[in-house]
Amino acid sequence: MPKASKHTEKDSAAENLSSSANVESANANLSPALFALLEQHRTAIAADFRATFDVVNGKLDTIQAVVTGQGKRISDLESNAEDVGQRLANLEATCESLKKDNKQLKSKLSDLEGRSRRQNLRIVGLPESVEGPRPTVFFSQFLVEVFGAQTLPSPPELDRAHRSLVPKPGLNERPRAVIIRFHRFQTKDLVIREARKRGALEYRGHKILFYEDYTADVLQQRAEYKDVMGELYRSGFRPSLLFPAKLRITLPDGERRWLSSVQEATRFIKSTEKN
């Protein structure tokens, strides 16, 4: 057996030597032109690979630059988002403060406007142009004629008198209200109390009504009490709406209660119904 193996190895080695010799013999038989062509193809393929790699490297550099730029932009956006969030929080806080201040200022403005009208009186029902060219003189005499010398011994002093500031109505339209300003608020209070006491008044055949000259806000607040005041009257109470919109109720025993809202007045009515 060992002898056979040695012979086999010698035979393989001999075959390899024979193959190498054949390759060398074949290469030797190739012409120089063929070698030049192979070298040319090898050089072209290498150049193509290098060009392709250069293009790929250029694209990778571009992608890397784009990714770097996008990352920076995202980082800037995140930073700006935090700044914007803080600015929005500050803006909301400022808006809340301004809303609170605006509410207080509106309340003060409404109060000032209401107080500036406390000496005013509004008259409804007088025909247009009845006052003539001197309205303060006319309405001073008009009040004495309506209420009599016992209530007003002398014509009251008026600071101003004019029609409401709306377009002049047509021939058959409702006349504008008259607004007069008393020089002394005591006289105005006397006139309004007397007008409420007498109820319906007339002037030369025309029914006239006297009202307080309230602001639009006060009128809206007072209008909310219309229904509850009707219920209180029907229940036998004596409600009075004080300035600007505070309800005072006089109970049958003479006791007085003050209600500051419509909801509070509604609860009071329900409580009396249960009793």
Specify the fold of 219-274. Rec A Protein; domain 2 (3.30.250)
Q: Which residues of the chain have pLDDT under 50?
A: 1-6, 14, 17, 23
How much is the pLDDT for 245?
80
pLDDT in tens, 219-255: 888 888 888 888 888 887 888 888 778 888 887 777 8
Specify the length of the chain in residues: 275
How much is the pLDDT for 22?
55
CATH fit for domain 120-213, picks 3.40.50.1370, 2.40.37.10, 3.30.70.1820, 1.10.3210.10 = 3.30.70.1820
Which parts of the chain fold into alpha helices (H)?
Answer: 2-29, 32-116, 135-147, 185-198, 216-223, 226-234, 262-274
Domain positions in the chain: 57-115, 120-213, 219-274
How much is the pLDDT for 136?
95
Tokens of 207: 């029914």
How much is the pLDDT for 184?
92
**Integer Cα distance of 195 and 264 in angstroms:** 30
Single-letter amino acid, residue 115: R
How much is the pLDDT for 4?
47
How much is the pLDDT for 1?
43
